[in-house]
Amino acid sequence: MPGRVARVRQPADAPYPSEPLTRSVSQSHIAVTLGPLTLRHLFRPLQITATAGTLAVVKLAGYLRVSTNGQAEDGLGLDIQAESIRSWAKSEGHRLVASYDDAGVSGAKELDDRPGLAEALGAIKSGTAKGIVVYRLDRLARDLVLQEQLLAEVRRLGGQVFTTSAGEAGYLDDDPTDPSRKLIRQILGAVAEYERSLIALRLQTGRRHKASRGGYAYGAPGYGQRAVDGELVVDKDEQKVVTEMRKLRRKGLSYRQIAAQLDAAGWKPKRGESWHPHTVNRILQRVSG
């Protein structure tokens, strides 16, 4: 059965060329038709012109998030986000003064369950930073209502949200003369929420199917373990790294210092090239639990 089509009418003098378009979302059967607007024009980055020396340097707090404990322990998602944020800040001429993260936390969680985001907002409130920069808007939230609440809260604190995604950058700030900005941002937020629901459904279905056949069926094994023929077994090489982590922690080293020593020794996480402090923290919490 074909998906329902939502239509949004625009006035004839809308500031974009009139071309019909229907956009399919992911692999679903949902399409969004935006009247005479096209996503080619609606989703293009806004063209901003300025003379040399007029763009102010903004002090920013980076915010990173990955949803699963597996991603948190691998460190891959956090590393990619951190590098993209650093590169974006440098190219835009802004100053990254701090970085906060929530590892293994869903984008639908409220502020009480996301200490990293709470710290980023605290940096704005204290004046340490004037804005938050994320890899993509769905790192801030994967729930439409929560997304709009967080954007409003940052504005209330006198800050601004930035994204490294050029396709999203033009829609984070509301403009009373161009309501399509808010419309497109909310469509993006709704799509992110929908995709989160699809991912959850696929995981549940896959795990039920795997469990019915017997064996381990609950995501990627933690660091120090691996799956063999559907069963979890000890990974002796990774266990040596875990033992070293615990020894360094008992000596009083911080998670960041432990990560640096692991990198210097040539030990690698399951995926990625370097260790993240939050990855070390997650692994030590799991093995101590």
pLDDT per residue as tens digits for the range 254-277? 988 999 999 999 998 876 677 878
- What is the number of H-type helices and E-type strands within the chain? 11, 9
User: 108, 165, 173: which is closest to 133 by C-alpha?
Assistant: 165
Q: Could you tell me the pTM of the whole model?
A: 0.53
**pLDDT bracket for residue 231 (50, 70, 90):** confident
Handedness of CA 88, 90, 94, 100 (dihedral sign): positive
Cα–Cα distance for residue pair 74/224, rounded to 1 Å: 11
Write down the pLDDT at residue 203. Answer: 62
- One-letter amino acid of 285: Q
The pLDDT-based confidence of 186 (bands split at 50, 70, 90) is confident
Note the pLDDT of residue 63: 95
Q: Which 8-state DSSP code applies to residue 7?
A: E
Domain boundaries, the chain: 59-180, 225-288
Fold of 59-180: Rossmann fold (3.40.50)
Q: What percent of the chain has pLDDT over 70?
A: 68
| Cα Dmax for the chain | 70
Element (H, E) at 283: helix 277-288
d(CA 215, CA 285): 25
Span between the terminal Cα atoms of the chain, in Å: 48
d(CA 216, CA 225): 12
Nearest to 20 by CA among 37, 7, 41: 37
What stretch of H or E contains 124?
helix 115-126
Is the Cβ–Cβ distance between 271 and 74 less than 8 Å? yes
Question: Quick one: pLDDT at residue 69?
Answer: 57
